[in-house]
Amino acid sequence: MSVVLPDRPGDQVSYHLRAGDQHIPLNSRVGKPISLHWSGAIACTHCGRATKKSFAQGHCYPCFKRLAQCDTCIMKPETCHFFQGTCREPEWGETHCFQPHIVYLANSSGLKVGITRKTQMPTRWMDQGAIQALPILEVDTRQQSGFVEVLFKEQVSDRTNWRAMLKGEVETLDLIAERDRLLETLDGGLNQLRDQHGSDAIRVLDETPYTFDYPVETFPRKVVTHNFDKQPLVEGVLQGIKGQYLILDSGVINLRKFTGYEITLR
């Protein structure tokens, strides 16, 4: 799904289902019956070849093993091996990893730390179903953002409890106060990283928190998941959309997990 922050404060996040070149609006379907049927076909989102199984959210196995965007360092950027000369795609790495990255705090199921390319704000947070987010630091490369995130994980989680997020069991937080507390606590570690990478490599940001409201009429009391691999037909009344999840009265489904699947929507 594609997600767009509304132009006017207070409006809900807008969702569209990407289907080839088409973008199908979904917000207007909330409260109405919806049906999704998987044909059994999967196509690699990179090369287009048919595949029996999807790897890394939409790739065939050869692309999964070959592409830099599927390497383990994407999930753990502090393990970047570009300078060892072993990057799978050095040109891709230069384009995607050697650009400004943001270290942020978000509240999707409680306080968490995360990283994203600067160009991915605020999409990254809406994809996670965060109700609040605050950029706190800017760095020059993805690897540097990984080093900072590892430091912050000594004090705060980098995980989202997706079940709590979908149940709407999230209290608002004072992200400014949390930022100030963490920056003070981790000042020594941040200065060590600056000594290693340059005094201006890690820059503190003075940003206003983002807030997000999602098109959800009813949150589920109990989270039951749908899986196209086990159940090709998913249907029910669409009660809401949050993160990359459709919330139906019959259960929830993470559409990003099934990227590349051929689906009929009714």
User: Is 45 domain-assigned?
Assistant: yes
pLDDT-based confidence at residue 227 (cuts at 50, 70, 90): very high
Return the closest-CA partner of residue 100 out of 117, 120, 80.
Answer: 117
pLDDT-based confidence at residue 223 (cuts at 50, 70, 90): very high
174-205 pLDDT, tens per residue? Answer: 999 999 999 999 999 999 999 999 989 999 99
Identify the H or E element spanning 165. helix 162-167
Of all residues in the chain, the percent with pLDDT exceeding 90 is: 94
Position 198, amino acid: G
**Same domain flag for 182 and 125:** yes
Of 168, 189, 211, the residue that ends a domain is 211
**Same domain flag for 50 and 151:** no
Supply 127's token pair: 């994809």
Order of strands across the sheet that contains 14-19: 2-4, 14-19, 22-25
User: Is 256 domain-assigned?
Assistant: yes
**Same domain flag for 17 and 118:** no
Return the closest-CA partner of residue 58 out of 264, 261, 259, 213.
Answer: 259
**Same domain flag for 42 and 136:** no
| Residue 197 CB partners (closer than 8 Å, separation 6+) | 140, 144, 147
Average pLDDT, the chain: 95
Question: Does position 99 have pLDDT exceeding 80, yes or no?
Answer: yes
Q: What is the pLDDT of residue 169?
A: 87
Q: Which structural domain range is residue 186 located in?
A: 99-211
User: Is 66 domain-assigned?
Assistant: no
Q: From residue 17, how far is each of 27, 101, 108, 259 by CA, in Å?
A: 10, 27, 22, 11
What is the rounded average pLDDT of the residues 218-223?
94
Of 195, 211, 227, the residue that ends a domain is 211
Q: What is the pLDDT of residue 120?
A: 94
**Same domain flag for 147 and 248:** no
Q: What is the pLDDT of residue 19?
A: 77
Instruction: Please give the angle made by the CA atoms of 245, 19 and 220, to the nearest 5 degrees.
Output: 15
Q: Report the domain count for the chain.
A: 2
Please tell me the pTM assigned to this model: 0.93
| Residue 70 CB partners (closer than 8 Å, separation 6+) | 55, 56, 59, 63, 64
Q: Residue written as tokens 């989680």?
A: 157
What is the rounded average pLDDT of the residues 61-86?
96
Question: Does position 20 have pLDDT exceeding 90, yes or no?
Answer: no
Identify the H or E element spanning 25. strand 22-25
**Same domain flag for 115 and 166:** yes
User: Is 159 domain-assigned?
Assistant: yes
Of all residues in the chain, the percent with pLDDT exceeding 70 is: 100
pLDDT-based confidence at residue 10 (cuts at 50, 70, 90): confident
25-66 pLDDT, tens per residue? Answer: 999 999 999 999 999 999 999 999 999 999 999 999 999 999
User: Is 75 domain-assigned?
Assistant: no
**Alpha-carbon 217 to chain mean position:** 23
User: Is 251 domain-assigned?
Assistant: yes
Position 145, amino acid: S
Supply 205's token pair: 């940001």
Question: Does position 3 have pLDDT exceeding 80, yes or no?
Answer: yes
**Same domain flag for 260 and 198:** no
**Same domain flag for 176 and 241:** no
**Same domain flag for 201 and 232:** no
CA distance 128 to 168: 13
User: Is 73 domain-assigned?
Assistant: no
CA distance 70 to 13: 28
Q: What is the pLDDT of residue 81?
A: 96
**Same domain flag for 175 and 261:** no
Q: What is the pLDDT of residue 250?
A: 97
Q: Higher-confidence residue: 21 or 80? A: 80
CB-count exposure of residue 226 (10 Å: 0-12, 13-18, 19+):
buried
User: Is 85 domain-assigned?
Assistant: no
137-184 pLDDT, tens per residue? Answer: 999 999 999 999 999 999 999 999 999 999 998 999 999 999 999 999
